[in-house]
């Protein structure tokens, strides 16, 4: 089975959040499960620098509307997976992230930048593809690839089936209606049962409407997005497409995130030898200037600093946390006002709060290993990766019961301790007081060393590898192949042939 995996991010070269990591790990797992996968991604500057010998395999002159011409380069990633890089420096070689400029603003031409990604994905999935390699399935990831199924629908000649994966429905790729022409989309696409969304155009809606199958990154999030509270205006559409929607829990890169081999850690440790974890706590406190108080638990957090992640709740109870006493080591970047509130807390309690603004892979690993517990008070969380890293690092997570957090973290109570499923702490209400209550509960459990060891063991023994997810995606791809065969057999041409044969 041949799969074209289209994505706007690819770790380690371009990563804004979970999608970058997933785009590196899932195709590798699909490959291991026997599929022929190619990753289609814009040729951002770090990718061009990493693959100076990438081979030119196709050219797309005037691919439609006002979209700029582009070249398609092929390279091989370290793990042997072929990469197809869309080379269009005017769109993709810029300072900033995949979506934002250095000042944190969306690039003004994001519709064109990701229109081109979608357009080329569609061209490679149709009969006019310049490549000999033809995918059976085009797998589109998040809004930047959402227009691909719409392009394919209106171009005709689709040779691949389409899957649209939602990694975060809050980002929807909404642009003014008059961008339709620049994007080279048929005017017929601008309809309620098309790409139109409240008088504007939405890339995400295009994907949700035109793709044959929809997946999202946890079973709980698949249910949540069908409700008005989490559906961002798409709940009705998703309920309508309910039979085509599946939640598949992400895996994690168990090679990069393994406390027994993690080269970012000053001391490695494993399930049977946990001593090194204490050394990581000491080193982390030292690095961050936090007091070395043996009876004081240390909470870690590595996150985008946004409303979604609920870090405002943490800021609201900062003074109470300092008095508990407890310490917090936070790494992240995002909303400037929230960053400032957290920084002022750290300035008031330098021995208790450490806030590091920016992106730092090494420190993220050191926080996972050095903290006693990990905080994720998210308002919503499609899947979340850090709670799975925490479980693997013997750092029980404290999470709100939403999305993938609800699917992976089991609250510590008598019943779950008895059946060996307890692995963290879960609260339901979105409030600072609910978070504080759960933090208090976790601290009292932390003081019980036997109980704590059990909690750590339960988490560390879980399997979060990608194999399960890869098998689930394979089943979806295979189902699309079966459906295609059945549709062909039912087509008028097939009926004619059958008639002639008879």
Using the rule CB under 6 A, give the single segment among 63-71, 121-129, 178-186, 378-386 that binds ligand ADP.
378-386
Q: Which of 42, 184, 370, 384 binds ligand ADP (CB under 6 A)?
A: 384
Q: Which of 25, 202, 280, 386 binds ligand ADP (CB under 6 A)?
A: 386
User: Pattern of binders to ligand ADP over 287-316, x per CB under 6 A?
Assistant: ---------------xxx------------
For position 247 contacting ligand ADP by CB under 6 A, the verdict is no
Number of chain residues interacting with ligand ADP (CB under 6 A): 17
Nearer to ligand ADP, 125 or 355 (CB): 355
How near is the Cβ of 388 to ligand ADP at its closest, in Å? 9
Q: Which long-range contacts (CB under 8 A, 24 or more apart) does 239-244 make?
A: 241/208, 241/214, 244/212, 244/213, 244/214
d(CA 298, CA 281): 8
d(CA 28, CA 18): 16
Nearer to ligand ADP, 325 or 465 (CB): 465
Pairing relation of β-strands 245-247 and 200-202?
Answer: unpaired
Integer-rounded Cα Rg, in Å, for the chain is 24
d(CA 2, CA 138): 9
d(CA 502, CA 494): 12
Nearer to ligand ADP, 195 or 249 (CB): 249
Q: Enumerate residues 461-500 that contact ligand ADP by CB under 6 A.
A: none
Q: Enumerate residues 324-343 that contact ligand ADP by CB under 6 A.
A: 331-333
Which residues pair with residue 60 across a beta bridge? 70
Pairing relation of β-strands 373-376 and 298-305?
Answer: parallel
Q: Which of 9, 21, 312, 407 binds ligand ADP (CB under 6 A)?
A: 21
Nearer to ligand ADP, 161 or 303 (CB): 303
Which residues pair with residue 219 across a beta bridge? none
CB 424 within 8 A of CB 392: no
Q: Which of 8, 18, 64, 370 binds ligand ADP (CB under 6 A)?
A: 18
Pairing relation of β-strands 200-202 and 196-197?
Answer: antiparallel
For position 385 contacting ligand ADP by CB under 6 A, the verdict is yes
Q: Which residue in 256, 253, 255 sits closest to 362, CA to CA?
A: 256
Using the rule CB under 6 A, give the single segment among 317-325, 358-366, 427-435, 466-474 that binds ligand ADP.
358-366
How near is the Cβ of 250 to ligand ADP at its closest, in Å? 8
For position 361 contacting ligand ADP by CB under 6 A, the verdict is yes
How near is the Cβ of 100 to ligand ADP at its closest, in Å? 13
Which residues pair with residue 82 across a beta bridge? 76
Could you tell me the CA-to-CA distances from 108 to 85, 88, 111, 412, 426 in Å, in that order? Answer: 22, 16, 8, 47, 40
State whether the Cα torsion 202-119-8-39 is positive or negative: positive
How near is the Cβ of 134 to ligand ADP at its closest, in Å? 32
User: How does DSSP classify residue 84?
Assistant: E
How near is the Cβ of 52 to ligand ADP at its closest, in Å? 27
How near is the Cβ of 199 to ligand ADP at its closest, in Å? 28
User: How does DSSP classify residue 218?
Assistant: -
Residues lying near ligand ADP in the complex (CB under 6 A) are found at 17-18, 21, 302-304, 331-333, 359-361, 364, 383-386
């Amino acid at each position: 089975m041949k799969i074209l995996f289209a994505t706007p991010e690819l770790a380690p070269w371009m990563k804004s959040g979970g999608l970058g990591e997933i785009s590196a790990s899932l195709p590798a797992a699909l490959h291991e499960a026997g599929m022929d996968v190619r990753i289609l991604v814009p040729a951002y500057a770090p990718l061009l620098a990493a693959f100076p010998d990438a081979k030119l395999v196709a050219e797309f002159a005037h691919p439609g509307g006002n979209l700029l011409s582009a070249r398609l380069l092929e390279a091989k990633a370290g793990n042997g997976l072929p990469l197809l890089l869309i080379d269009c420096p005017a769109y993709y070689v810029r300072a900033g992230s995949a979506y934002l400029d250095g000042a944190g603003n969306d690039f003004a031409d994001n519709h064109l930048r990701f229109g081109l990604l979608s357009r080329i994905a569609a061209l490679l999935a149709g009969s006019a593809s310049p490549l000999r390699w033809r995918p059976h399935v085009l797998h589109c990831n998040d809004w930047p690839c959402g227009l691909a199924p719409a392009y394919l629908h209106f171009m005709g000649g689709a040779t691949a089936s389409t899957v649209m994966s939602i990694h975060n429905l809050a980002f929807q790729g909404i642009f003014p209606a008059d961008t339709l022409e620049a994007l080279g989309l048929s005017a017929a696409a601008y309809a309620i049962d098309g790409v139109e969304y409240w008088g504007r155009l939405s890339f995400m809606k295009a994907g949700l409407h035109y793709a044959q199958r929809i997946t999202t990154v946890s079973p709980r999030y698949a249910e949540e997005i069908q409700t008005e509270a989490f559906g961002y205006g798409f709940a009705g559409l998703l309920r309508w497409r309910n039979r085509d929607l599946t939640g598949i829990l992400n895996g994690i890169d168990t090679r990069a995130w393994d406390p027994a081999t993690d080269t970012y850690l000053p001391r490695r440790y494993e399930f049977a030898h946990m001593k090194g974890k204490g050394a990581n706590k000491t080193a982390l406190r030292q690095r961050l200037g936090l007091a070395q108080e043996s009876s004081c638990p240390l909470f870690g957090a590595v996150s985008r600093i946004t409303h979604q992640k609920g870090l405002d709740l943490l800021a609201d109870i900062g003074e109470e946390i300092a008095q508990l006493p407890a310490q917090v080591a936070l790494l992240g970047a995002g909303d400037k006002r929230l960053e400032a509130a957290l920084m002022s807390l750290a300035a008031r309690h330098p021995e208790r709060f450490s806030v590091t603004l920016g992106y730092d892979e090494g420190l993220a690993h050191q926080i996972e290993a050095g903290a006693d517990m990990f905080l994720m008070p998210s308002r919503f969380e499609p899947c979340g990766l850090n709670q799975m890293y925490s479980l693997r690092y013997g750092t029980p997570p404290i999470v709100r019961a939403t999305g993938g957090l609800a699917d992976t973290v089991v609250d510590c109570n008598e019943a779950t301790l008895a059946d060996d499923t307890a692995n963290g702490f879960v609260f339901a209400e979105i409030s600072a007081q609910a978070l504080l209550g759960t933090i208090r509960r976790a601290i009292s459990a932390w003081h019980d060393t036997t109980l704590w060891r059990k909690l750590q063991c339960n988490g560390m023994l879980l399997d979060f590898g990608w194999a399960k997810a890869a098998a689930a995606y394979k089943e979806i791809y295979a189902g699309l192949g079966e459906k295609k065969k059945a549709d062909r057999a039912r087509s008028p041409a097939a009926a004619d042939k059958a008639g002639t044969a008879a």
